[in-house]
Structure 1
Amino acid sequence: MARQSKIDFRIFRRLLKFAKPYSGLLILAFLCTILLSVIGPLRPMIIGNMVQKYVVDESTRSQQLFLKWTLIVGGMLLFEALLQFLASYFSNFMAQSVIRDIRIKIFNHLSTFRIQFFDRSAVGGLVTRVVSDIEAISEVFSSGLIDILGDLLMLVVVLVLMFTTNWELSLIALIPIPVLIFATRVFAKAMRKSFQQEGTAVHRLNSFVQERLTGMNIVQIFGREKVEFAAFQEANKVHRQAHVNAVWAFSIFFPVVEFLSSLSMSLLIVWAAFSISGQDASNVNLFGTVFSFTLWIQMLFRPIRMLADKFNILQRGIVRADKVFELLDTDEHVQESGTITQCDFEQPLKFEHVYFTYKSDEQALGDSEKEWVLKDINLTINPKETVAFVGATGAGKTSIVNLLSRFYEYQKGTIHIGEIELRQIHMDTLRKNIAIVLQDVFLFSDTIHNNITLGNEAITREEVVAAAKAVGADSFIQKLPNGYDYQVGERGGVLSVGQRQLLAFIRAYVYNPHILILDEATSSVDNESEILIQRATEQLTKGRTSIVIAHRLSTIQAADKIIVLDKGEIREMGSHEELLRKDGMYRKLHSMQFSKK
């Protein structure tokens, strides 16, 4: 338990660093809360004196003075309402500013991670971190930290006023407090556990829903609806139970608080009734005091009850913040070792003894234990040359693309552009000069124009239209409602596979790269779309270094060089005619594809 407190305090201090730029708002919120904590407890004392002097005591009874003090109390209530509004506004404004900064930081952090991180991380879990977990952090500042300090200060002020007014009544009123403190500690412990369970349940449920909705076509094709529904029910049951545990604790704790508050008030009234029943004039003066104490008891028990609630809001936010900071502390960045921002990409691209595995160095103990995806790759691609890679699935074709774009890092050997090693080139410079058209084209839920330009305002509509005409896609775009302003929907689901592929060609065309990579761009399209894509390929590869990865050998027969990969190694290399003359792997692949009638 001590270790948990220490960790919480460390996370809490780290959260406060994000609030530092908004310290002015934090101070204003604290000042308003402090004034509320002082003015609020003074009101019962004034009301008690009013009752004693202007209602009970005949010698000082005065309707005029009673009305005057009533107006003063009414003014105090209005001032308290104003302070409460300002405290809430300043604290919430600061909280939203803090979580905005954290969201920006974590999204920027995630956007620089290696693709390998996203390969093994559930998207739904990451969404939970960026959205709901950070939202829970806002409550630390908006209704946790400031309210806790305000309630603690109010407790102190109320107790001081109670004991200075009548210490005997104070002791009687505080008789149930030890039971309340014990109940509060039990409640806080139960809530801390339920919040941890809730965070885990939310993470799992979000991941489950995101994956099933994304892969709904697979679920339906294989008739898994009932199975997945049953799995969802189980995940939802766990999520529900985590919340029920919290509700169970609340449903027990708050009635206990109300009972103890009523008990305290009952003890006070019974004692006062016995005292006032005598004829002693000094006891009659207790009327105003008892009236003040009944109001103070409400003020005393309410902060204690709210402290338990606010403490758990604070604890919940810190538990979620721990998950967020865990992600912020994750070092999965592509190592930016490059410093060269000016590079001539019109030079030979050389692979020299390149070895690559998707396993990290920590996972592999030695060379003999590494599962090399690429083995001893030696290759030169000349400027403006079209080179095609063919081979069976898993041969290592796409891995070469990943290395060129530095989505992954090779473990041995070197890749050069001219005399410059690939890792010496600054990442932005490298990726601005390489364009990739993937088999699975990703489109954002936005217009066709924005999907092509990716928000780059330097690319004009005229350039987009010209590029679309060059690759033969303008005609189908013009037929769509609103043309280039047509909303394609999530992942471009309203477009055909071929249409999405053509948009990817336009996207590559407008960015005018020096090196173009086509990764199996025609493997999933129909014959009509393939003809359009082949024409687009001819237009796009003209005058630039091009790397083509294809299953359909008909699309790469005109390539300057064809490289046959098998189990991560180069088996054959040459033009289409040269490879056909060999009785090797390429000829076998060619025969298999073209012998089918």
Structure 2
Amino acid sequence: MKWGVELKQNRRARFHYSQDTAIEKQFNWKQMTRLLGYMDPYKKNLLPKAIISMLLSTAVRLIIPIFIGVLLFDHAIKDQDETLLVQLIIGIAALYLLSWVANTYRIKWTNQLGQYIIYDIRQGLFKHIQRLSHGFFDKRSAGSILVRIINDVNSMQELFTSGVINLLMDIVLLFGIIVIMFVLSPQLTLAIMIILPLMFLISTSLRKRIRRSWQQVRIKQAKLNSHLNESIQGIRVTQSYTQEKGNMEFFEGVNHENYASWRDATQKSAFFRPFVEMSNAIGTAILIWFGVYLIQNGMDYGVFVTFAFYLGMFWEPISRLGQVYNQLLVAMASSERIFEFLDEQPNVPEKKNAIEMKEMKGEITFKDVEFSYDESRKALHEMSLKMKAGETVALVGHTGSGKSTIANLISRFYDPTNGTVRIDGVDLKDVKLDSLREKVSVVLQDTFIFSGTIMENIRFGRPDATDEEVIEAAVAVGADHFIKRLSNGYATEVEERGNVLSVGERQLLSFARALLADPRILILDEATASIDTETELKIQKALNVVLKGRTAIMIAHRLSTIREADNIIVLDHGRILEQGNHGELMRSGGTYYELVKSQFNMMDAG
């Protein structure tokens, strides 16, 4: 029982520490200007059309009450002018028709405008995230990133599809109503306007709390998505340890917090509209009470009727402005989180005058290289080494010795804290990233297979490769024999992460993908760890041919796979202990000899 309580507490602890954080920024128009800047590409086409149709429909709405009140009541009906009455009825019908046409096109063009802007924001955000360094992804879960690309961008859709244009329309409408009401009766207008300062004070006090509430909604959604992403990817582990119930309890807590945050935000946002309706009731009471007094003192009935129309219209834009204001707060909460990502700069920046690495021989040099993933410990200590072009270099050592760090620095996924990494004598900081990575392929132990066909997965690193070249690469690594046995061969569709394939088959596909890219440097990071001995022997034969003339870096715990390496570098806690070929290191009787001996002893014991 006690263990169960501790388990729940541990889950809550994990839940607590994986959460996203609120962004403490003041509501500012500078940020809103940046957000509205996404309208710039449409200033010459869709935006003017939407504004013109909005102004036309608003002008019609402002004119109609004058036709009904002043002209109809005080002239056509009062003077019993049937000709004017017919003309007014036709004119009012024509105005309503014109308003309907203008509104139809306003809705059409504003929706098109909004969808284009949302498309641009999401496209730009995804493009920017793809260029960020590995350090960015090390600190964030996939779920929290997905929330910003999908949910946060979607939350701005209503603002751009209707909010901005409706905001302009309501401001114009409100300004027009106030002007006309003052012209009709300054006294009655001032009497009704007395309630506006109170509305302003209440809406101002709510602003910060509403914005914070919507920020919390985004944070809880990020946590919910992170847990869902983790749970689905780890479902096999969950079922293996029969932790479905505990996982469900954990999800219930995350889901409840998400629900509670939405409830809190919507309750605060919904408070404004009832207050506007109450203000409308007070304004109507003032109109009737004070209007009767003015009629008794000479005001025309038509003016009073017209004023009543405008008063009914007056609270409508104010109510909608409250809704738009809520949309604005939601958009601001989301835009803060989106701009946080857009303002994130790569930890591995590319110089403006970076050079194109057109040709690469593959000579790699580390000079006094130090590297730290964090301040607590160093992964590499003043490391200097040289890998000759075209040779096969093996990196050996216990977990945490710095093997993968060296590979990451060669691909320039990270920059060294101190020292320089050079290829063919050129500092990698002076090279364009794309030109470098096009010539360096990495095969990892945990192979990622994309949804699509076998052919598309192999072609991923070189999209312009022909079908024949894809098949040649598959044959070279021994993948062709199992691909042909699939239902549709190279056209077989594989699901996300390639779950329909075995671990070894996925690894073979990653080899084919890397070799098809025709790299000058090939990094094999525990690439054969998941392959059986028979398949490994086939790959070794293929690699002997494929790696000729290329620089190969092999990271392996299974020392039997690196016997033929030209140079074996033995690492320990970020330092080089010894290096040489297999024979030299075995004769020296050092660390490598002990590692080989211990592995063979384990095999014999097994």
2:508 is the alignment partner of 1:489: no
Q: Aligned pair in 2 of structure 1 residues 52, 215: CA closer, same or farther (>3 Å)?
A: same
Could you tell me whether the CA contact under 8 Å between 1:505 and 1:540 is conserved in 2? no
Asked if the contact 2:369–2:416 (Cα under 8 Å) also holds between the matched residues in 1, the reply is yes
Alignment CA distance shift 1:255-1:524 (3 Å): same
SS in 2 for 1:351: strand
Matched, 1:318 2:332: yes
| 2:367 aligned partner, one-letter code | E
Q: Give the Cα separation in 2 of the matches to 1:386 and 1:459.
A: 26
Q: What secondary structure sits across from 1:380 in the alignment?
A: strand
Q: Work out the CA distance in 2 between the residues paired with 1:419 and 1:178.
A: 71
Larger CA deviation: 431-440 vs 195-204: 195-204
Distance 1:456 1:590, change over 3 A: closer
Distance in 1 (alpha carbons) for counterparts of 2:26 and 2:576: 56
**Structure 1 equivalent of residue 303 of structure 2:** 289
Deviation at residue 199 of structure 1 after TM alignment: 2.4
- 1:51–1:345: structure 2 CA closer, same or farther, 3 Å change rule? closer
Summarize deviations over 1:108-143 as a string: whole Å, max 9, x none.
Answer: 222222212211122222222222222333443333
- Between 1:561-570 and 1:502-511, the stretch displaced more is 561-570
Deviating more after overlay: 306-315 vs 178-187: 178-187
**Cα shift readout 1:280-329 (whole Å, capped 9, x = no counterpart):** 9x67x51x334333322221111111111111211221222122112211
Q: Which moved more, 1:115-124 or 1:204-213?
A: 204-213
1:547 Cα offset (Å): 1.3
Contact map agreement 1:520 1:551 (CA 8 A) in 2: yes
2-structure distance, mates of 1:298, 1:8: 32
Offset of residue 43 of structure 1: 0.9
Matched residues in 2 for 1:433 and 1:33: separation? 55
- Does 1:520 pair with 2:535? no
| Structure 2 partner of 1:85 | 104
Cα shift at 1:53: 4.9
Letter in 2 for 1:438: L
Asked if 1:354 is matched to 2:361, the reply is no
Counterpart contact for 2:362–2:521, Cα < 8 Å: no
Query: Could you tell me the TM-score, scaled by structure 2's length?
Result: 0.87
Tell me how far apart the structure 1 counterparts of residues 194 and 34 of structure 2 sit (CA, whole Å): 39
Q: Which moved more, 1:189-198 or 1:316-325?
A: 189-198
Q: Secondary structure at the match of 2:522?
A: strand
Look up the match of 1:28.
Answer: 49
Q: By how many angstroms is 1:393 displaced?
A: 1.0
Structure-1 residue corresponding to 2:167: 148
- Map 1:390-539; keep pairs closer than 5 Å: 390-454=396-460, 456-539=462-545
SS in 2 for 1:60: coil
Secondary structure at the aligned position of 2:578 is classed as strand
CA distance 1:160–1:494, shift in 2 (3 Å) = same
Matched, 1:74 2:93: yes
In the alignment, which residue of structure 2 is the partner of 1:13? 33
Aligned residue number for residue 97 of structure 1: 116
Map 1:58-457 onto structure 2 (within 5 A). Answer: 59-62=79-82, 65-171=84-190, 173-174=192-193, 176-269=195-288, 285-286=300-301, 288-337=302-351, 339-342=354-357, 344-346=359-361, 348-359=363-374, 363=375, 371-454=377-460, 456-457=462-463
Alpha-carbon shift at residue 152 of structure 1 (Å): 1.8
* 2:379 and 2:402 in contact (8 A); partners too: yes
- Return 5+ residue gaps in structure 1 as ranges: 364-369
Provide the residue aligned with 1:367 in structure 2.
none
Q: What is the CA–CA distance in structure 1 between the aligned matches of 2:559 and 2:535, rounded to whole Å?
A: 16
Which range is displaced more, 22-31 or 389-398?
22-31
Counterpart-to-counterpart distance in 1, 2:313 and 2:305: 13
- What does the per-residue CA deviation read over 1:24-49, in whole Å, with 9 as the maximum and x for residues that have no partner? 23233223223333221221221123
CA distance in 1, matches of 2:531, 2:309: 77
SS at match of 2:266: helix
2:8 is matched with none
TM-score of the superposition, structure 1-length normalised? 0.88
2-side partners of 1:347 and 1:311: how far apart? 59
The DSSP-based 3-state class of the residue aligned with 2:236 is helix
The 2-side partners of 1:564 and 1:52 are apart by 99
Q: Which amino acid aligns with 1:297?
A: L
What pairs with 1:37-56 in structure 2 (closer than 5 Å)?
37-49=58-70, 51-53=72-74, 56=77
- The residue that corresponds to 1:557 in the other structure is 563
Q: CA deviation at 1:567?
A: 1.6
Q: CA deviation at 1:441?
A: 1.0
Q: After TM superposition, give the deviation of residue 405 of structure 1 in Å.
A: 0.7
| 1:409 match: secondary structure | coil
State the Cα distance separating 1:447 from its structure 2 match. 1.9
Secondary structure of 2:365's match? strand
Q: From the superposition, tell whether residues 41 and 558 of structure 1 become closer, same or farther in structure 2 (CA, over 3 Å).
A: same
Distance 2:189 2:241 in 1: 72
SS at structure 1 position matched to 2:494: coil
**Count of residues in Structure 1 that have an aligned counterpart in Structure 2:** 578
Q: Contact 1:53/1:61 (CA < 8 Å) preserved in 2?
A: no
CA gap of 1:289–1:418, structure 2 versus 1, over 3 A, is: closer
Shift of 1:216: 2.8
Q: Secondary structure at the match of 1:265?
A: helix
Q: Aligned equivalents of 1:347 and 1:125: distance in 2?
A: 38
On the 8 A contact 1:191/1:246 being kept in 2, the answer is yes
Question: C-alpha separation between the residues in 2 aligned to 1:109 and 1:252?
Answer: 38
Indicate conservation of the 8 Å contact 2:507/2:530, yes or no: no
Contact map agreement 2:269 2:326 (CA 8 A) in 1: no
Q: CA deviation at 1:55?
A: 7.3
1:502 is displaced (CA, Å) by 0.7
Q: 1:247 & 1:403 partners in 2: Cα distance? A: 48
Match of 1:366 in 2: none
> Secondary structure of 1:454's match?
helix
> RMSD value over aligned CA atoms?
2.8
Secondary structure, in 3 states, of the residue corresponding to 1:542?
coil
Q: Secondary structure at the residue paired with 2:155?
A: helix
Q: What is the CA distance between 1:401 and its match in structure 2?
A: 0.6
In the TM superposition, residue 239 of structure 1 has moved relative to its aligned partner by 1.8
Q: Is the 8 A contact 1:355 1:373 kept in 2?
A: yes
CA distance in 1, matches of 2:221, 2:444: 33
